[in-house]
Structure formats: C-alpha cells, structure tokens
C-alpha cells in the first residue's frame, strides 16, 4: 500500500486548513484563512522582530537628555487672554513646491516695530507682512520684498562699517548707492553701485 | 543652572509678541535665514549692546520688531519703538533665543534657547493622569493657545540639528494640534529630532495609527512611561484606573504605526521592587521598544506630598536596577540610567548612566565640589532637598572614578 | 465539598501546561503558558493556582498575571499581548519555503557507514541533476515569497558536479537582480575536491561552506572511510584552504555521532577548538539511509546520546568560561525558543513542521521532496513523500496530498502527547522521522526518540538556567546573543 494511503488511514483522513499549502507558494502573501473571514487589518497583533543581534545595535539615546520634566513653573498663563489663538484645526500644508511662495508685501509695511500694525484679531502674535523667504534656495527672480530686505541688510552692513549714516529703510537711494560704491572702491571691487555677489560676500552677507 | 525667564524694562509693548533675538552681525550675514520657517523682520528683536547703540544710533531705524539692550539704556529712543533693556539677569536671554513678551508684564520668557539640548514645545498643562510623582501638576484649564504659540515658535527656531522635546501635561489631549505641530516640524525643522513625552493612553484609539503612519517623520520618537508589569501597581502609580490597559494598547498602536518608542520608568519605592519583572515584561511583550530609560525621581510637584510612599534611597535599589539593566542589555534592548548621581551607581552600571538633567535644572551640592566625576555626572535637580538625598552621596576620588571609566565600553 | 462554580474568584485561568522536572529543587513544577513564558513553582503553588486560592497582593499572583497564566476578568485584557507573542513565535509561517536544497549529484568519494544517501560511482552522470531540471528548480525557488532565501547544494559530493553548481549560482544571481531577495549560498561538502577555480567562484558569490568534521583524526577516519583513508587530513586541509581564500568564518562544521563518537565528547570538542570553529553541532544519528541498515553497529539508544550530550555540554561550558567561544548550535536554538518570543530560523524544530513549509529539496532525478530526510527515505525504497516534479509550479507542489498529510501530523499543538506537554511552545513536530522510526507520522510519544531527545535537552537546559551559577548563565546568554563571554558582564535577572 502506498505511503500516503497508509498515512490517511492512520490519521482518519483529517484535513486541515485547505489553503495552507498554496499560501506559501505565492509571490504575494495570501491570507491563511477562509475567504469569508474578515480580519481587522488595522489591528493585527504586532510581530516582534529579533532584538538579539540587530545590525545597528547602537544606543541612539546615549547622548539623549531625559526631558524628564517640563519647564519651570511660572504663572505665565494669565498673561494671555483666553480669546484669540487656536480655534479650528488648520492643517499645515507644506508648500506645493520646494520654494517658498512669496506674496506681495502687505500694506502695513515696515513701520517701526512695536506698534500694533494690521490685524490684532485672530493671531496672538503679530506678524506684519506675510512671508519673507527663509532658507529657501529659490532661483526665481526675487520679489520686491526680498530685494528690499536685502537692501536693509546691505544698509546695515554699510552702517556698521561707517560708510552709511542714513535711515535703514530698504530703499536703494542715492546715499545708499554712494556708500556702496565707496565700499567697493575701498575693497578693490568693481565699482558699480550694485549688490553683486562679490560685494555681498565682502560685506559678509550670505545669500539666501 | 540657567533659568528660562527673567525681567527686563520694557518700553512700548502693545500686544503679546514672539520674537527672535538676533545680533547685528547675524542680521547682516543671514537675514531672515536665521529662522527655520516663515518670518519677517518684524519678528526680530535686535540685540544692541549700549556701546554699539552709541556708535551707530541709526541702527534704531532698522525695520525690525524691536530692540534689546542687554545693559542700561543711555541713549533715548523714539516713543514708538519696542525696546527691552536692563535685564535682571544677564545670561538668560541671548542671541538666537526666541522670547515671549506679554503686555503689562516685565517678564520675558525664553521659549527657545540656542545651543540648548533641552528645548521643548510645551503643549498643555492638562493631563488625564495624576501620577503620584508628577513634577508638573496638571491644571484643568483650556490652554489650547499653546498650539498656536508653538506653531509660531517653530518658524522662529534655528534651522539646524538638535533634539526637540514635545511635552506637557499630556500632549495627545490636543490631538489635531499635536499632529499639525508634528507635520510642521517635519517641513520646517527637518533636521531636528523630536521626542514626544506622553502617557500613551489616548493612543489606544485606532485612528491614531493611520495619522501617525502618514506623518513619516524621519526622526520622531515617543517616550511612554510604564511603571509595573501589572495593572494594579501601574494604575496606582498614575492614579488612574484602566491606565495600564490603555497605555499597553497605545504602545501597540504606536508599534503598528511603526513609531520609535522609548519606555520610561521613574524609580521609586513603588517601582523598584518589581523592576526586573518589569524588564521581563517589556522584553516579552514590547520587544519593539528601541530604548528603556530608568530615571531617578525628581522631588518636585506632587512628589513632595507623597515622599513617604515614593522615596527610596538609590543605594537600596542597586540590586534590582542592575538585574533589570543587564536583563535588557543582554537581549539587545538599549538601556540608560538617567538622573542619578554617579556616586550612587555601582561602577559596573556606570556606562549606562547618561548626563540627563537639563542644563537649566541641574546643580551640584557642596559635597560635589571635590568630586573627580563632576564633568560626567548629571548632578541633582534644582528641586533637590535633604529629604531626598541619599546617604551615599560622596565625592569620587580620581582612583574611584577611574574604576568607572575602566568599566565603560 | 469544594465549591468551584462561584464568581467570587479574583482571577481565571488562561491556557497553561505544567510538567514535573524531577529536579532536586522545591520548585519542581515547570509551568508554561501558550506564549512560551514560564515559571518554576512548587506543588503547593500549583494546588493554590488550580483552586483559585492565590492571593492578589502576593508576588506569585503578579508573576502569574504578568506571564499570562491567569487574568482578571473585567480588568486588563491580556489577549492582545498573548496574540502578539504567539504570532511572533509563529511568524515563520508567513514566509514561503526559505531553505532550498539542490541535490546536484549522488556521486561521492566517501563510503561513510551512516550515510543517508546512496553512493553512485565517481564517474558517470546518471546520478547528476540535469540542466533542464536545475533550471526549473530555480524557477521554483523564486516562486517562494520568502524575502531571505538560502540555496544549499547537497549530494553525494556537490563539488563533483561543480559545473552544475556554478550554473545554478549564476542563474539565481542573475534573476535576483530583479527579484532583490536576500540570498545566501551554501555548499555542504567534504572539501576534498576543492580547486582554486572553485574557491575564486565562491569568493565572488560569497558562498559559504559546510563540512563534516566528526572529531579527531582517528574518530573521523573511522566514521568516514575513503579509499585513501585520509578523510580527516584532506578535510582539515580543505578547511585551511577555504579560510585562506574566503576568510575564517566562511566554513562551518558539524558532527555526526556514531556509537564510537559517544565515547569521546571532550576529544571531539577539543578538535573543534583547535580548528578554530565558533559553533559545533552535536546531532545524533538519523534513522535514514545506510544508518538504518547498519543500525545495529552504529545506532544507540537516545538515552546514551543524552548522557553524552550532557557531558559534552558541561565541557563546553567550562571552555567558554575560559574565554573560548564555542557554542553548541542545538542548545542555542532551544535557548532562543525558551528565552525569547521570536520566531526560530531552524526548519527542523518547528510546529507546524518545517518539511515543505520551510524547506524544499530538488533531487538529482528532478523530483521534489519536503525535506532532506524525506529524500533519504527514497533511498530506502520509500518514495511516498515525493511532492511532485520540479517542473510543476510551486503552488501545485505545496498543494499535493503529501503536504496535506504532513501538515495533518505536523502541528505539535494538536498531536497526542504533545498537545499537553509543557515544552510544546519550545519544541516541534517531525512526521518524517516518526514515520521512518515507527512507521507512523504521528508516532507514539513514549517510544519516540525525537521526543526523548528534545525533552531531555529542554529539561537539562531549564535545569541549567535555574541552577547554574552566574558564569553558566553568562555563557548561555553569550550563545543566545552571539557576543563574547566577556561582553556579557552580568547575567541580569534570571526569570
């Protein structure tokens, strides 16, 4: 009698999970169960990976701080009004492109700081104007606001180097241009009154 | 130990402000690139020492949000300019920090400190547990304004690499706000590694799995406390029935969402007797945790009230501590000991000890001044008192400290 | 009369098993749960547990709760953790067969008395794997969904058909460019037919070698005769040559223990130490092939093997304590099963049995078998375990009635004798061995050499884990986590 027949007799013809064998031969894993059973995919028991000799057995927390407590106790909360601030969830959507989008400067532009400019309403913290690029490597043409910001930095640099004594206002006027050219001359740069890269480098201004 | 707030003379503050402190040179060099996210000049507080101001008074015409003079103010300024001067303590606010100002108050809070390894985003004072040793007792108030503040703070931080904590109270109480903050951190602060402290109880809700899995933050980890291998003891420590079950479910959901998880245990009279058994439980049921932190107790907040139930001299739990640590280490689960002075840790455990108390919270006592290990020791919490002092505190001689160094790997 | 049908109990029982260890300790009962967690308890504690008399505030109660022997109705529900542990332990089920043996030829230059396969003459290719069959086998290999695959070349002596080996390695490597599995090649060989060519090829494809080293020269040559009577010398030379070209760890060795071997545990171990191996496999003789025909000369009762093993293990522990790392591989496997919730990589001790589910053998004649032992039964005239031919798709092979029969008798948790054995979480099922020895795939546990071996070893290891001193623990842990003895500074908590 063939082996298989003998085995079947011995085992009384027990049959187990009918699909057990096939599941193992698929290139894509199949569930090992009857078609009508629906497991809760979201809540499968986690499978434990072996910890005994993992490839990267390094204590990533060796330099970590405990963060064991919170900041010091201070009665700061009473300083903020209950109104304003967070109401409905605003999901943060990263910009669609990798560059920051620059909008036109708002009308409440660079007055001296401190006075409340435009809306005090919804936001706790007053940010006048909207965006101004930070850390972006945009190669699009700079907006007026960006250019103005750059002029401010140039004026500041020229001020501390004693080339410029005027108001730091972001406007490339005669005085500013004159100071720039004087600096370029003293620094053996091309004297063109423009904020070109060698000039900016010499002033210690990094772009962006 | 550096405080997180101090007082200034403040002129012309008309509303609450969050400002980035920046020197003139850094302003020239980087401009708004000093901030990680969206910012304008009005978010800047120009650091202007009195001498510089005297030299170049037209710097006051800079279209920034305000000026900070870390000295007495000798030059008069315009009525409309926001000026901070004459700080009570000099080192508290420094260039690169982000400070919060409130009208009608001279208090200046440092919400972000450049170069600190313990910056954190504070989510809320509320909590759904009431741990016996809670170092920041919860308040039942509506303080979701923290979310907005944190979203703004993220934009003003330095962009570089550092550890950033997210904590409270219980951060998951403001679920949408937390998720928004995590998403924003991923975009604006991709170089920072985030560590969220949470009791994990609300994470038992399955909807968290998808939300967290979708985040895909490259360096996000969760620190979840577990105080016993059984519900009765754990629930007693956190004073919340059902907490153990919820936390375990939360841990499993974090595992399903493929999060990096750290289990934390505060060492007290209630948790040290079964510490080895807890290690066994973690290994058998939670081997996916990437780290176990065993932490000396901080004697502040509610802990003070429960001194009798909680206090145990660390010298008296060296044995269970050693057993638990080696049990886990031998099975490939990284372990660290936090917040215990080195003189209280036996040499063979010293290479698991980390200098872990935040720079603004730690101090050393008189006995420490002669200690050879002072550079490597986490010291004490500033809240430390005699009642919580081990009989074993003593300075280590150079030879004794050598024994520690030799047993390190 | 004791009232048991009452709701005043604080706890209920979870599925558990227990066994008396017959040790000298008071805590003589081993309690194991479905998850594989365990606890040593006293008789009195077992009574209390069964009669619902364990007091909630005691550490015994908390241990029972934490290790899933009891639960508290209405309080914490432990089923998710138990499910996770069980699922992890059986995770190997979700992988298709991971070990694929290619029997490239039956030719061999040895005449080992315990050989499990026939030895065809050295010349002639009648007993070689044909190219068409080899090609088809590679297709079968990639039909498995396992992400990590081991391709092992067997024989006879595979190096006598090296061209076929080369072909298969090249085909597999080429296909893997798109498949992107993690593939490991192994050649089991006497190392007597090495050439520079072969070694260069092996180096290029990172092929590992596995050889037989039965012990010192006298023992090895007595067990494994060759016409030139220098099997040992040639094997050692082969080991050196492989290490020279491919690195120290490119070759591993295992023993086969004949009755003669059982007299020399220390000599065998000393031989492995002097050959610089880091692992040794002390496996007993199998009842297949020539071994069964020469049983009266070679075989031995399993009790004798256990005696030998305990002595060998004690000697190994001593050596390891002195800083020489030599792990016994079966003990390491059992330790992993006892001490961790992780899935075992070893196909020969699994439940459901690994035959077919974890391993497949493509025989020289183009037939496919579920395990090496099954193929050896063929050489005894029994071809009933053939799954099919290598030209049938894998899903058909695994759906064959043979597989059904193997699985029906291959789930230890469902077998008489195993289903209520405390060791079942750490053990496995072997229908092929039981069929070979007892003529019945399920087998009678009382007469089962497989059971005696595993039970004997498991009990011994549990004894060592509980009674052994700190250094013994450190050695055993070093085998578990594959670190050096000195890196395991302290044993830590001993559960």
The ipTM estimated for the assembled molecules is 0.93
Residues C85 and C69 in one domain: yes
Among B254-268, B299-313, C304-318, the least confident range: B299-313
Whether chain C has a CB inside 8 Å of the CB on A1: the answer is no
Alpha-carbon gap, residue C272 to C140, rounded angstroms: 37
Which pLDDT score, from 0 to 100, does residue C474 have?
Answer: 97
Inter-chain CB proximity B277 and C35 less than 8 Å: no
Contact C417, C390 (CB under 8 A): no
CB A118 within 8 A of CB A106: yes
Q: What domain count does chain A have?
A: 1
In a domain, C492, yes or no: no
Same domain, C85 and C128: no
C61 shares its domain with C202 = no
Q: How far apart are CA C38 and CA A129, in angstroms?
A: 67
Q: Are residues C80 and C100 in the same domain?
A: no
Distances (CA, A) of A70 to B91, B111, B136: 21, 12, 7
C210 and C154 Cβ atoms separated by less than 8 Å: no
- Domain shared by C29 and C99, yes or no: no
State the pLDDT at residue A7. Answer: 60
Q: How far apart are CA C208 and CA C227, in angstroms?
A: 27
C403/chain A closest Cα distance in angstroms:
7
What's the rounded Cα separation, in Å, for the pair B351 and B337? 9
Asked if the Cβ–Cβ distance from B145 to A67 is below 8 Å, we say no
pLDDT (0 to 100) of residue A109: 25
Quote the pLDDT of residue A105.
26
The answer to whether B165 contacts chain A (CB < 8 Å) is yes
Q: Looking at the structure, do residues C250 and C274 belong to the same domain, yes or no? A: yes
Residues C104 and C57 in one domain: no
Are residue C178 and residue C135 in the same domain, yes or no? yes
Domain edge (last residue) among C344, C368, C398: C398
Chain A residues inside the 8 Å CB shell of B15: 116, 120, 126
Going by C-beta distance under 8 Å and a sequence separation of 6 or more, which residues neighbour residue B148? Answer: A85, A86, A123, A124, A125
A67 domain residue, yes or no: no
Tens-level pLDDT at each residue, chain C (495 residues) = 565 555 668 999 999 999 999 998 999 999 999 999 999 999 999 999 999 999 999 999 999 999 999 999 999 999 999 999 999 999 988 888 999 999 999 888 777 767 766 566 666 677 899 999 999 999 999 999 998 999 999 988 999 999 999 999 999 999 999 999 999 999 999 999 999 999 999 999 999 999 999 999 999 999 888 888 899 999 999 999 999 999 999 999 999 898 899 999 999 999 999 999 999 999 888 766 555 565 666 678 889 999 999 999 999 999 999 999 999 999 999 999 999 999 887 888 999 998 888 999 999 999 999 988 888 777 667 777 899 999 999 999 999 998 988 999 999 999 999 999 999 999 999 999 888 888 888 999 999 999 999 999 999 999 999 999 999 999 999 999 999 999 999 999 998
Query: C290 is in which domain, residue-wise?
Result: 95-398
CATH of the domain at C101: 3.20.20.70
Q: How many Å apart are CA B278 and CA B325, to the nearest integer?
A: 11
Q: Give domain status of residue C219, yes or no.
A: yes
Fold of B119-407: TIM Barrel (3.20.20)
Mean pLDDT of chain B: 92
Q: Is any Cβ of chain B less than 8 angstroms from the Cβ of A55? A: no
Domain borders along chain B are 5-112, 119-407
Residue B379 zone, left/alpha/beta (φ > 0; ψ -120 to 50; rest)? left
More confident residue, A142 or B17: B17
The whole domain housing A192 covers 144-203
The whole-angstrom separation of Cα B21 and Cα A207 is 20
How close, in Å, is residue B249 to chain C by CA atoms?
A: 8
Strand order in the sheet with B163-167: B119-122, B163-167, B193-197, B220-225, B260-266, B291-295, B335-338
CB atoms within 10 A of CB C333: 20
DSSP output for B118-149 = -EEEE--S--S---TT-SS----S--THHHHH
Q: Say whether both C247 and C391 belong to one domain.
A: yes
Contact criterion met (CB < 8 Å) for C491 and B330: yes
Q: Quick one: closest CA in C to B274, which residue?
A: C59
Q: Which of C108, C257, C278, C116 is nearest to C190 (CA)?
A: C108
Backbone angles phi, psi at C374, to 5 degrees: -65, -40
Name the closest residue on chain B to residue C87, using Cα atoms: B285
Contacts with C111 (C-beta within 8 Å, 6 or more apart), sequence order: C119, C225, C226
The minimum CA-CA distance between A150 and chain C, rounded to whole Å, is 51
Nearest-angstrom CA–CA distance, B191 and B206: 29
Specify the CATH number for the domain of residue A195: 1.10.101
Q: Is C143 on the interface with A (CB under 8 A)?
A: yes
Residue among C456, C105, C90, C133 nearest C282 (CA): C456
Question: Same structural domain for residues C66 and C130?
Answer: no
Lowest-pLDDT range of B193-197, B286-290, C269-273, C437-441: C437-441
The answer to whether residue C405 neighbours chain A at the CB level (below 8 Å) is yes
- Count CA atoms closer than 13 A to B6's CA, side-chain side: 17
The pLDDT tens digits along chain A (208 residues) read 566 666 666 555 444 444 444 444 545 555 556 666 676 777 889 999 999 876 544 444 433 333 322 222 222 222 222 233 332 233 333 222 222 222 222 222 222 233 333 333 333 443 333 333 343 444 566 688 888 999 999 999 999 999 999 999 999 999 999 999 999 999 999 999 899 999 999 999 998 6
Q: What residues of chain C, 409 to 438, have a C-beta less than 8 Å from chain A?
A: 409, 411, 435
- Distance between CA atoms of residues C307 and C304, nearest Å: 5
C345 falls within a domain? yes
Class of domain B5-112: alpha beta
C478 lies in a domain?
Answer: no
> Does a structural domain hold residue A114?
no
Residue B379 tokens read as 């010291």
Q: Are residues C70 and C165 in the same domain?
A: no
Q: How many domains does chain C have?
A: 2
Omega cis (within 30) before A208: yes
User: Nearest-CA neighbor of B222 among B156, B265, B301, B165?
Assistant: B165
Domain limit, last residue, from C339, C363, C398: C398
Domain annotation covers residue C390: yes
Q: Are residues C36 and C146 in the same domain?
A: no
Predicted confidence (pLDDT) at residue B133 exceeds the cutoff of 80: yes
Q: Which of A2, A21, A45 sits opposite C399 (nearest CB)?
A: A21
Query: DSSP label at A104?
Result: P
Contact B27 A42 (CB under 8 A): no
Cβ of B285 within 8 Å of Cβ of C85? The answer is yes
Mean pLDDT over B7-30 rounds to 94
Most confident of B157-161, B299-303, C297-301, C372-376: B157-161
**Residue whose entry in the numeric block shows the structure tokens 């992780």:** C342
Is residue A187, in this structure, part of any structural domain at all?
yes
Query: Given C357, C374, C398, which residue is the final one in a domain?
Result: C398
The residues, ordered by sequence, that sit 6+ positions from C331 with a Cβ below 8 Å of its Cβ are: C313, C457, C461, C476, C479
Is there a domain that residue C319 lies in? yes
> Closest partner residue to B230 among C66, C477, C492, by Cβ?
C66
- Give, for B337, the enclosing helix (H) or strand (E): strand B335-338
Q: How far apart are CA C229 and CA B295, in angstroms?
A: 66
Task: Please name the residues between 279 and 298 in chain B that touch chain A, using a CB distance below 8 Å.
Answer: 283, 287-288, 290-291, 293, 295, 298
Q: C-side interface with B, Cβ within 8 Å?
A: 35, 37, 56, 59, 62-63, 65-67, 72, 75-77, 80-81, 84-85, 339-342, 477, 480-481, 488-493, 495
A121 CB within 8 Å of a chain B CB: no
User: What does the alpha-carbon distance between residue C292 and residue B11 come to, in Å, rounded to a whole number?
Assistant: 100
Neighbours of B70 (CB within 10 A): 19
Tokens standing for residue B239: 């004073």
Minimal Cβ distance to A82: which of B28, B142, B169:
B142
């Amino acid at each position: 009698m063939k082996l298989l027949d003998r085995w079947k007799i011995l085992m009384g013809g027990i049959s187990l999970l009918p699909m057990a064998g096939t599941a193992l031969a698929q290139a894509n894993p199949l569930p090992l169960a009857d078609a009508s059973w629906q497991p809760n995919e979201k809540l499968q028991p986690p499978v434990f990976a072996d910890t005994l000799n993992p490839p990267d057995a390094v204590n990533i927390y060796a330099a970590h701080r405990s963060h064991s407590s919170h900041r010091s106790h201070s009665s700061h909360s009473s300083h903020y009004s209950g109104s304003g601030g967070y109401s409905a969830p605003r999901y943060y959507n990263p910009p669609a492109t990798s560059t920051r989008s620059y909008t036109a400067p708002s009308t409440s532009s660079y007055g001296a700081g401190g006075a409340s400019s435009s809306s005090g309403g919804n936001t706790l913290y007053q940010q006048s104007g909207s965006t101004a690029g930070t850390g972006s490597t945009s190669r699009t043409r700079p907006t007026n606001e960006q250019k103005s910001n750059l002029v401010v930095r140039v004026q500041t640099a020229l001020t501390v180097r004693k080339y410029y004594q005027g108001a730091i206002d972001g406007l490339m006027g005669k005085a500013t241009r004159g100071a720039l050219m004087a600096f370029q001359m003293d620094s053996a740069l091309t004297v063109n009154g423009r904020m070109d890269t060698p000039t900016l480098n010499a002033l210690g201004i990094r772009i962006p | 130990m550096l405080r997180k707030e101090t007082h200034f003379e403040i002129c012309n503050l008309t509303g609450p402000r969050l400002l980035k402190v920046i020197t003139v040179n850094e302003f020239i060099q980087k401009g708004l690139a000093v901030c990680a996210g969206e910012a304008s000049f009005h978010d800047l507080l120009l650091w202007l020492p009195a001498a510089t101001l005297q030299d170049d008074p037209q710097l006051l015409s800079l279209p920034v949000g305000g000026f900070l003079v870390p000295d007495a103010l000798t030059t008069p300024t315009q009525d409309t300019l926001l000026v901070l001067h004459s700080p009570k303590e000099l080192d508290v606010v420094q260039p690169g920090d982000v400070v919060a100002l409130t009208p009608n108050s001279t208090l200046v809070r440092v919400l972000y400190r450049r170069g600190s390894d313990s910056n954190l985003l504070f989510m809320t004072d509320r909590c759904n547990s009431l741990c016996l040793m809670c170092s920041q007792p919860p308040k039942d108030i509506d303080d979701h304004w923290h979310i907005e503040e944190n979203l703004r703070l993220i934009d003003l931080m330095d962009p570089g690499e550092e550890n950033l904590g997210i904590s409270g109270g219980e951060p998951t109480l403001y679920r949408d706000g937390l998720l928004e903050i995590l998403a924003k951190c991923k975009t604006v602060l991709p170089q920072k590694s985030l560590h969220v402290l949470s009791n994990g109880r609300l994470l038992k809700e399955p909807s968290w799995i998808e939300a967290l899995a979708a985040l895909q933050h490259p360096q996000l980890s969760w620190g979840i406390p577990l105080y016993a291998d059984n519900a009765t003891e754990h629930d007693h420590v956190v004073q919340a029935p059902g907490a153990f079950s919820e936390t375990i479910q939360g841990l499993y959901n974090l595992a399903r969402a493929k999060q990096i998880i750290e289990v934390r245990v505060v060492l007290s009279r209630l948790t040290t007797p079964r510490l080895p058994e807890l290690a066994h439980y973690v290994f058998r049921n939670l081997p996916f945790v990437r780290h176990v932190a065993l932490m000396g107790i901080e004697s502040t907040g509610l802990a003070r009230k429960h001194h009798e139930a909680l206090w145990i001299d660390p010298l008296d739990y060296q044995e269970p501590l050693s057993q638990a640590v080696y049990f886990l280490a031998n099975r490939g689960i990284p372990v660290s000991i936090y917040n215990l002075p080195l003189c209280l840790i036996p040499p063979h455990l010293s290479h698991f000890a980390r200098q872990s108390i935040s720079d603004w919270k730690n101090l050393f006592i008189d006995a420490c001044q002669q200690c050879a290990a002072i550079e490597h020791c986490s010291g004490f919490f500033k809240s430390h008192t005699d009642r919580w002092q081990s009989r074993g505190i003593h300075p280590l001689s150079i030879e004794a400290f050598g024994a520690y160094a030799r047993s390190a790997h | 009369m004791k009232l048991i049908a009452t709701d005043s109990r604080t706890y209920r029982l979870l599925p558990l098993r227990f066994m008396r260890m017959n040790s000298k300790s008071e805590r003589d009962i081993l309690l194991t749960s479905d998850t594989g967690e365990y606890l040593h308890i006293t008789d009195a504690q077992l009574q209390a547990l069964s009669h619902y008399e364990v007091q909630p505030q005691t550490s015994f109660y908390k241990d029972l709760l934490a290790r899933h022997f009891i639960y508290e109705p209405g309080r914490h529900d432990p089923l998710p953790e138990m499910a996770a542990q069980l699922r992890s332990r059986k995770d190997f089920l979700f992988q298709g067969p991971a070990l694929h043996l290619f029997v490239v030829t039956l030719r061999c230059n040895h005449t080992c008395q315990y050989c499990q396969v026939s030895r065809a003459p050295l010349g002639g290719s009648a007993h070689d794997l044909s190219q068409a069959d080899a090609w088809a086998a590679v297709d079968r290999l990639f039909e498995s969904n396992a992400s990590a695959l081991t391709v092992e070349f067997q024989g006879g002596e595979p190096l006598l058909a090296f061209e076929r080996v080369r072909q298969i390695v090249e085909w597999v490597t080429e296909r893997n460019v798109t498949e992107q599995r993690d593939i490991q090649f192994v050649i089991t060989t006497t190392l007597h037919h090495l050439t520079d060519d072969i070694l260069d090829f092996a180096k290029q494809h990172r092929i590992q070698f596995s050889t037989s080293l039965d012990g010192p020269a006298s023992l090895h040559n007595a067990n494994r005769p060759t016409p030139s009577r220098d099997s040992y010398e040639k094997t050692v030379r082969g080991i050196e040559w492989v290490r020279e070209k491919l690195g120290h760890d490119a070759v591993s060795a295992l023993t086969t223990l004949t009755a003669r071997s059982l007299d020399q545990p220390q000599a065998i171990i000393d031989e492995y130490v002097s050959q610089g191996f880091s692992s040794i496999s002390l496996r007993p003789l199998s009842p297949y092939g020539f071994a069964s025909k020469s049983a009266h000369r070679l075989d031995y009762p399993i009790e004798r093997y256990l005696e030998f093993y305990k002595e060998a293990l004690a000697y190994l522990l001593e050596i390891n304590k002195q800083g020489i790392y030599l792990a016994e591989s079966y003990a390491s496997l059992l330790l992993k099963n006892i001490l961790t919730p992780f899935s075992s990589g070893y196909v020969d001790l699994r439940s459901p049995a690994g035959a077919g589910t974890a391993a497949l053998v493509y025989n020289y004649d183009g037939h496919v078998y579920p395990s090496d032992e099954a193929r050896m039964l063929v050489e005894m005239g029994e071809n009933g375990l053939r799954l099919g031919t290598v030209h049938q798709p894998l899903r058909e092979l695994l759906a064959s009635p043979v597989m059904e029969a193997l699985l029906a008798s291959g789930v230890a948790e469902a077998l008489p004798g195993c289903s209520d054995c405390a060791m079942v979480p750490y053990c496995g099922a072997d229908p092929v061995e039981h069929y070979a020895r007892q003529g019945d795939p399920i087998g009678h546990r009382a007469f089962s050499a497989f059971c005696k071996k595993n039970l004997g070893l498991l009990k011994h290891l549990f004894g060592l884990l509980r009674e052994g001193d700190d250094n013994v623990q450190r050695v055993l842990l070093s085998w578990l986590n594959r670190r050096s003895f000195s890196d395991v500074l302290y044993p830590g908590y001993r559960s």
